[in-house]
Structure 1
Amino acid sequence: MKKLRQYSVAILVAVIALTFNACKKDPKPEVVEEVAGKSELSFLEVEREAHGDHFHYNPIASAKPLVITFDSKGMAAAGTHAHLQEGKTYKLSLRSFDVANNELQQGFLDQQDQYQAFILGGPTGVLTYAYGDRDKSNKKINVGVTGYLTVDKAAAGFTFQYVLRHLNPGVKSGITGADWNNPDFSVKFSGSNKLDLKFELHPVEADGHDH
């Protein structure tokens, strides 16, 4: 009986050891970030009203959004272009989806210390942009999911580029609202581009004529 007990204990110890070693070798699950699918940029005309050193942006009841759609590579359909008029301001909004068609933009806002949008391509003096994001407590933040784009003057058409940058830790603290069109963003603000959306924009005169 004594030998049987010793034999049973030995088997139990061996089983426990094998189980422990197997658990120790199990790979850790990978953390997979959402893979971007399609994206949309919408331009909705608003009224810009000066208030001291800042502006208020008021809705226009009759305004209808112009929506540009992009594929997972950030490309708009061939021939896509938009006419925006000088002197007008547009609410610029991003919608982005993963491959399962889940919207991602709220996650960008929730992780606002990791994301920043940059708007590039416009000739000097043609466009002005102001970040318009707010967090869940209604505090102003700079991400670029929502913003206000003003066409200051008409110009020849150009490639409008909207880049949403996933920043490395600590980088966001060195970025201000004035960096919205910083051409050196990829060098100055380390990270990787989450979205890189491009299309042809024509800033036109108030009568709608191209330059």
Structure 2
Amino acid sequence: MKISKYIASAIIALITLNSCSKDDPIPVIDQEEVGSARLVFTEVEVEAHGDHFHYNDFAGQEKDSIIFEGEKFLPPVGAHMHLEVGKTYRFELRVFDFAGRQSQKTFIDRDDQHFAFWIGAPADALKIIYADKKEDKTKVKVGTIGYITVLKASESFNWRYIMRHLNPGVKTSIDVEKDIQNKDFTKFGGANDIDVKFETHLVADDQSGHGH
């Protein structure tokens, strides 16, 4: 009888265990959700400080943006960005999930898995640096915010911004200063979280009246 009781107890425990296992929720892997995106460009003043620079806002600074939305994340028809030679602009990526909440912070929180590439500008026409910071002020290189200095004029070109979700360990193979404009970005394994294009024109100062 004792053996039968032990067997019965074991069977009940096994049934209970299986029942709990089936009822446990399957872990959900949090993924970046992008409903729309915006790139904002704001002219800034550059102030040299020894071996680095400060980028300061000022009264009357130019500010412009392009919104990407819809199934294919296309900019508005006729959208056009022009940046002036000799000027520096702060760019900011703003991402909105499908509920309209800003979510670009996710890319910074997961800086080891994300890096942005700017593709399509003429060679040596731009200098781009990244200036991302986590909530604790730790500096990281992701590409949600940074500074673009225009070095020379160019005809219009299609500028492509790509926020790439990198495979584990890939970020360490990226030179975060030199690879920002690397056209061979697909060699860094992963998938694109954001991939948008917009027409851009780098203009000389005397062309500042050029329309957007």
Give the TM bin, normalised by the shorter chain.
Answer: 0.7 to 0.9
Partner in structure 1 of residue 37 of structure 2: 39
Partner in structure 2 of residue 103 of structure 1: 102
Partner in structure 1 of residue 132 of structure 2: 133
Partner in structure 2 of residue 180 of structure 1: 180
1:9 Cα deviation (Å)?
A: 9.9
Partner in structure 1 of residue 80 of structure 2: 81
Partner in structure 2 of residue 198 of structure 1: 197
Greater mean deviation of Cα atoms: 36-45 or 15-24: 15-24
Does 2:24 match 1:22?
A: no
1:16 Cα deviation (Å)?
A: 5.0
- Structure 2 runs not aligned, ≥5 long: none
Q: Give the partner amino acid of 2:86.
A: G
Partner in structure 2 of residue 66 of structure 1: 64
Partner in structure 1 of residue 93 of structure 2: 94
SS at match of 2:89: strand
- 1:119-165 CA-partner distances (Å, limit 9, x unpaired): 11101121110111122232321111110011111100001111111
**Per the alignment, do residues 108 and 159 of structure 1 end up closer, same or farther by CA in structure 2, a change over 3 Å counting?**
same
Greater mean deviation of Cα atoms: 78-87 or 135-144: 135-144
Partner in structure 2 of residue 49 of structure 1: 47
TM-score after normalising by structure 2: 0.85
Is the Cα–Cα contact under 8 Å of residues 32 and 106 in structure 2 kept in the other structure? no
CA distance in 2, matches of 1:43, 1:124: 21
- 1:60-88 CA-partner distances (Å, limit 9, x unpaired): 22114201000153311111111111111
- Structure 1 runs not aligned, ≥5 long: none
SS at match of 2:26: coil
CA distance in 2, matches of 1:50, 1:190: 37
Q: Give the partner amino acid of 1:61.
A: A
SS at match of 1:36: coil
SS at match of 2:96: strand
SS at match of 2:21: helix
Q: Give the partner amino acid of 1:37.
A: G
Aligned length: 206
Greater mean deviation of Cα atoms: 8-17 or 198-207: 8-17
TM-score after normalising by structure 1: 0.86
SS at match of 1:20: helix
1:44 Cα deviation (Å)?
A: 0.2
Q: Larger Cα Rg: Structure 1 or Structure 2?
A: 1
- 1:87-137 CA-partner distances (Å, limit 9, x unpaired): 111000000011111211112111111111111110112111011112223
Question: CA-atom RMSD, angstroms?
Answer: 2.5
Q: Give the partner amino acid of 1:60.
A: F
CA distance in 2, matches of 1:121, 1:49: 28
CA distance in 1, matches of 2:17, 2:139: 51
Q: Give the partner amino acid of 1:105.
A: Q
CA distance in 2, matches of 1:9, 1:51: 78
CA distance in 1, matches of 2:27, 2:129: 40
